[in-house]
Amino acid sequence: MYKYTLKRLAIAIPTFFAVLIITFTLTVLSPFDPVAMMMAQFEGTLDTLARDDVIEKIREQYGLNDSYGVQFTRWIGRLMQGDLGISINGQRNVLRMIVKTFPISFQLGLAGAVVTTLLGIPLGCLAALKQNTWIDYTIVGGTLGFRTVPVFVLAPLLLMLFVLVLDIMNVPRGWDGLFQTKVILPVCILALGPLPVVVRQTRAAVLEVFTMDYVRTAKMKGLEMWRIIIRHILRNALIPVVTTLGFVAEGLIVGSIFLDSIFAIPGFGGVAESAFRGFDYPVIMGVTMVSAVMIILTNLLVDLIYPFLDPRIKFE
């Protein structure tokens, strides 16, 4: 068990390190020059003749003339101390921006994952049991639509439907905690994105388990259908569904990037969106790294709980 965990960690940590290298290299390539920004703030107050000397001195002082390796090591060192830098727009502490907004998005994402699971597994099951009937086609075809339709398309269309056409709700805006009615629409929109993957995986798994001998035996013993489904089919079919968790996590992160500004939710996604719009490199780097950590952790979690669910997989 420990060996297995260590082995999984040994894969996860270098992956994260590689993500750090990619992120850092890309920002080195980027046009973001902190000194030029500083100079812009002191515009007019500095002696213009000595300007180049001043720039050179500042670059020296902040180590921007050092080699790539030295800069990278220093950056990693700061990261270890939780220093993600200062944002360009508004000069705010990036770590604090993320820490403040992340819990909101995490709650929304968790709620979204719960909705996806509670909808996806029964739907996938139903589609498999009614394979090749209109029910199957409707479920598979209907959820397929959400496979790629992005949040920024779904959200305004659903808002128009519910607010303008049906007139059954006010525009849900803001964040007052998870247990509020205005959270329902954003959570459902988030949940719809990863839904088709869960449905398809469940459907395929149930279809596979359905032909197993033990299911046939259970049928022949005369067990009721619902008992067979719960006791024999779902138990085994749900194992592969767990592997979709990483995908669900990615869908939720990407979804929240678009969702937050539409519903005025002060979340992690909103920080990401405004960072991209404002070319705010320190924030972009921070957001990318936190997202990568979330996905790597989710995949690690899947790897770690998988052997518990499927005894055929050894901890080795």
Partner 1 sequence: MSESSDQSSANNLSEELIAEDALKARSLWQDAVSRLLANRLSIIGLVITTLLLVAALFGPYIAPYSYTEQDLMNVAKMPSADHWLGTDEIGRDLFSRVIWGARTATLVAIFTTVISVIIGVILGAVAGYGGALADSITGRVIDIVMSVPGLLLAALIAVSIKQPIVSWAKEIYESNGFPLFADTTWLDLLVVFGGLAFVSWPGYARLIRGQIFSLREEQYIEAAKSVGVSEVKIALRHLLPNAIGPVIVTLTFSFSSAMVLESSLSYLGIGVLPPQASWGNMIASNIGSWSYRPWLVAVPSLTLAIVTLGINFLGDGLNDALNPRSKRSI
Q: Which is nearer to partner 1, 6 or 29 (CB)?
A: 29
Can you tell me which of 123, 273, 282, 303 binds partner 1, judged by CB under 8 A? 273
Region binding partner 1 by CB under 8 A among candidate stretches 73-81, 220-228, 292-300, 302-310? 292-300
Can you tell me which of 14, 63, 77, 266 binds partner 1, judged by CB under 8 A? 14
Q: Is 292 in the site for partner 1 (CB under 8 A)?
A: yes
Can you tell me which of 281, 283, 286, 303 binds partner 1, judged by CB under 8 A? 281
Q: Is 121 in the site for partner 1 (CB under 8 A)?
A: no
Can you tell me which of 64, 126, 163, 309 binds partner 1, judged by CB under 8 A? 163
Which residues face 86 on adjacent strands?
93
For the segment 219-248, give every residue that binds partner 1 (CB under 8 A): none
**Contact, 223 vs 285, CB < 8 A?**
no
Tokens, residue 120: 């996806």
Can you tell me which of 156, 184, 227, 315 binds partner 1, judged by CB under 8 A? 156
Tokens, residue 37: 């920004």
Region binding partner 1 by CB under 8 A among candidate stretches 41-49, 86-94, 178-186, 287-295? 287-295
Site string for partner 1, 24-53 (x = CB under 8 A): --xx-xxx----------------------
What span, in angstroms and rounded, lies between the C-alpha atoms of 112 and 115? 5
Q: Packing angle between helix 134-148 and helix 195-210, nearest 10 degrees?
A: 140
Closest CA to 37 of 279, 291, 303, 306: 279
Site string for partner 1, 60-99 (x = CB under 8 A): ----------------------------------------
Q: Is 296 in the site for partner 1 (CB under 8 A)?
A: yes
Q: Which is nearer to partner 1, 120 or 246 (CB)?
A: 246
Which residues face 38 on adjacent strands?
none
Q: Which is nearer to partner 1, 17 or 308 (CB)?
A: 17
Give contact residues for partner 1 (rule: CB under 8 A).
Answer: 11, 14-16, 18-19, 22-23, 26-27, 29-31, 131-132, 137, 140-141, 144-145, 147-150, 152-154, 156-157, 159-160, 163-164, 171, 213, 250, 253-254, 257-258, 262, 272-273, 276-277, 279, 281, 284-285, 287-288, 291-292, 295-296, 299
